[in-house]
Amino acid sequence: MNSTAVLERQNEILRRNIETMIIKNNRDGLSRQENGFYHTMVKEWHQNQYEINQMRD
């Protein structure tokens, strides 16, 4: 697999994990540690999106 495919796969996994965290947050709330993980995943997802867009241009 090339680097774009790897980033796209990683983005898909991050997106699913972020969705799970959002559902948990809406249902039960997040602990302090979970909230930190959530924000880290969102930042990483945005960074991957940026890198994918740069490779496509």
Q: What contacts 38, CB < 8 A, 6 or more positions away? A: 18, 21, 25, 30
Per-residue pLDDT band at 4 (split at 50, 70, 90): confident
Amino acid identity at 39: H
Q: What pLDDT, on the 0 to 100 scale, is given for residue 57?
A: 79
Question: CA 6, CA 20: separation in Å to the nearest integer?
Answer: 21
Q: Check if the beta carbon of residue 30 is closer than 8 Å to that of residue 21.
A: yes
Question: CA 6, CA 24: separation in Å to the nearest integer?
Answer: 27
pTM tops 0.75, yes or no: yes
8-57 confidence digits (pLDDT tens): 999 999 999 999 999 999 999 999 999 999 999 999 999 999 999 998 87
